[in-house]
Amino acid sequence: MTIGITPSLTSSYTDCLLICLSVLLQEKMPFCGPKCSLCCTIVSIWGIVQLVLMGVFFYTHSVALAEDLTLKEHYDDLNEFYKDVNASYEQNAYNCWIAALIYLVTLCVSVHQFWLNNRVSYQV
């Protein structure tokens, strides 16, 4: 089964990604084995938990994560420094949550592959 996907100027690349993902999920044959899919499932769950928690800690301006902020070397104005710190904490939190959503897609694909590998098949 082949599907031609050409994004037009009005469609977004996420639509193409969702179409490709749905085509992969409709396939009846797994593309990775049971051990690989189980490993990817566990890593995805851990990645989601870790990135969501890190996003929460960045959003609450945890001092322990201050080394991960992107700031200039020198500031002349204290208000500009506070503004950049707040913006950097917020951007890092959003980045962590976006990465957690990507891990969620990986989790869905891994669980589907695990299910395909472990279902009982009597077809010869």
DSSP state of 44: H
If one counts the domains in the chain, the total is 1
CB–CB of 115/40 below 8 Å? no
d(Cα 106, Cα 110) in Å, to the nearest integer? Answer: 6
Prediction pTM value: 0.68
The confidence score (pLDDT) of residue 91 equals: 93
Residue 41 lies in a domain: yes
Q: Tell me, yes or no, whether 17 lies in a domain.
A: no
Question: Is residue 25, in this structure, part of any structural domain at all?
Answer: no
Domain limits at 89? 30-118
> What is the reported pLDDT for 123?
59
Burial of 63 (0-12, 13-18, 19+ CB in 10 A): exposed
| Residue 20 located in a structural domain | no
pLDDT digits (tens, 9 = 90+) for 34-60: 889 999 999 999 999 999 999 999 999
Q: Lowest mean pLDDT of 10-14, 49-53, 101-105, 107-111, name the range.
A: 10-14
Residue 110's identity, in one-letter code, is S
Q: Evaluate whether residue 18 is within a structural domain.
A: no
Q: Is 7 part of any domain?
A: no
- Asked if residue 66 belongs to a domain, the reply is yes
Q: Is residue 65 part of a domain?
A: yes
